[in-house]
Amino acid sequence: MLDLEKVRYLYEVCSEKMGSNIKCFKGMDKPLPMISEFYPGVWLEASVSGAIFLAWDNSDRWNVAENVINVFIDNQTDDGQLPCYILDANAERTKNIGEHVGYSQIQECVSFARLCLIVYKENKDRAFLEKCYEANKAWDGWLRRNRMTTGRGLIEMFCGYDTGHDNSGRLVGMSCKYNYGHRENGVVRHYNAAVLPPDDGITPMLAPDMNCTFYATQIALSEMADILGKPDEAAEWREKAKAVKAKLIEHCYNDEDAFFYDVDRNGNQRKYLSISIHHLFMEHVLDKDEDAEMIKAIYEGHLKNPDEFWTPYPFPATAISDPYWQNLKNPVSNNWGYYTQTLTLQRCRFWMDDYGYTEDFDEVCRRWIEAYTDNFDKIPFGQEIHPITGEPTDCSEWCIGVMNFYRYVVNRLKLLD
């Protein structure tokens, strides 16, 4: 039974604590939502969508979402590369990191262009939209020039951090399960994400989640072009998106398994049951009408399957039936090969209602908030929980995204009404 008085207390705790995480980084004059003390900065992976989540919960914070988008665009390189993270140089944990603006991996786990479009629809600032359109065109160009090296029509994973799925089975055998770098006088220095790490016989690899994001970017660019009065460019972007979807199904989809897998450089599907499958829904690659049979097969066969992803606390980052999950007897924290990640659940807001799974999302939210309320005294608002027991790990406590999702779930389920 959920203790509603404790929920009320934690709701207020979140409100107060989240405010202290929104701050100006060293040398900057506009506030940004620092993820946590463990992650003292903003990441392309999560921070833009997290900032929008803050704004959905509190309309006064749309300016924070706009700030995050602008800081990434303002640090875009001349050849179009967006940074993967921007750290607060004031933070203790950043002292031994050589680059406070990083370009060592992709880690765009939600389409940056689509998030730009969401913010534009709120601020209605045409100059902002024009800036976002040009920036995302350049980013698309960088990805095509640097991450389509095998000519298969899809962008490629070079290292583990490209996906943000730390410690996942997807990374087995890769030469760089994190990113490609070295230590120099005790300081970590990384190579640019355009540089392929040492030969491992696997990479460059085609990753479904990265290419779902790539697809969504082109769809967003087509909508931006339409708004900006560029119908020819809009049509071109739609055709490019269509081609990416076709190649994604051609290379990564296994019809017998009804699952999308990573594919190594030799064309072999790597059959790890990763939560990357939900990107097909999150980025709306699968059309509710045209792809209805595929949607049903994936959702009912995998995501709603209690032997895979529909655990007591859905959705684990790797299905519990996967041998990699089964063999992790003492998994480390920040583990996308084992735990249920709140980032995954946050991203469910982008798709579960749209695809008609509102009741299931409500149930996921109920189970999740029970786990976080019951276990607050052990680890306060860390980023992940055990998919069977709901026990938290010690990873990234007081995470702003987790606290914000807690508030969202309270409001969604009307727990305090």
Q: Each residue of 399-410: pLDDT tens digit?
A: 999 999 999 999
Q: Specify the CATH number for the domain of residue 284.
A: 1.50.10.10
User: How does pLDDT run across 345-361, given as a tens digit for each residue?
Assistant: 999 999 999 999 999 99
**Does 154 have pLDDT greater than 90?**
yes
Residue 105 domain flag? yes
Structurally, the chain folds into a number of domains equal to 1
Residue 361 domain flag? yes
**Does 59 have pLDDT greater than 80?**
no
Residue 97 domain flag? yes
Instruction: Compute the CA torsion angle 118, 124, 130, 132 (nearest 10 deg).
Output: -30
- Separation CA 242–CA 247 (nearest Å): 9
Residue 256 domain flag? yes
Residue with more model confidence, 195 or 58: 195
CA-wise closest residue to 305 among 297, 287, 67: 297
Residue 99 domain flag? yes
What's the pLDDT score for residue 158? 98
**Does 93 have pLDDT greater than 90?**
no
What's the pLDDT score for residue 21? 86
Helices (H), 126-203: 126-146
Using 50, 70 and 90 to split pLDDT, how confident is the model at 91?
Answer: confident
- Separation CA 101–CA 87 (nearest Å): 6
Mean pLDDT of the chain: 94
Q: Whole domain around residue 193: which residue ranges?
A: 4-412
- As a whole number of Å, the CA-based R_g of the chain is 20
What's the pLDDT score for residue 72? 96
**Does 186 have pLDDT greater than 80?**
no
List the beta bridge partners of residue 392. 385
Q: Which of 1-15, 55-69, 177-191 has the lowest mean pLDDT?
A: 177-191
What's the pLDDT score for residue 96? 67
User: How does pLDDT run across 228-240, given as a tens digit for each residue?
Assistant: 999 999 999 999 9
> Which tokens sit at 321?
């039936």
**Does 366 have pLDDT greater than 80?**
yes
Residue 173 domain flag? yes
What's the pLDDT score for residue 94? 76
- Separation CA 351–CA 374 (nearest Å): 27
**Does 341 have pLDDT greater than 90?**
yes
Say what percent of the chain tops pLDDT 70.
99
Stretch 1-30: mean pLDDT = 92
How many Å separate Cα 352 from the centre of its chain? 16
Using 50, 70 and 90 to split pLDDT, how confident is the model at 98?
Answer: low
> Which tokens sit at 128?
């902002």
Residue 417 domain flag? no
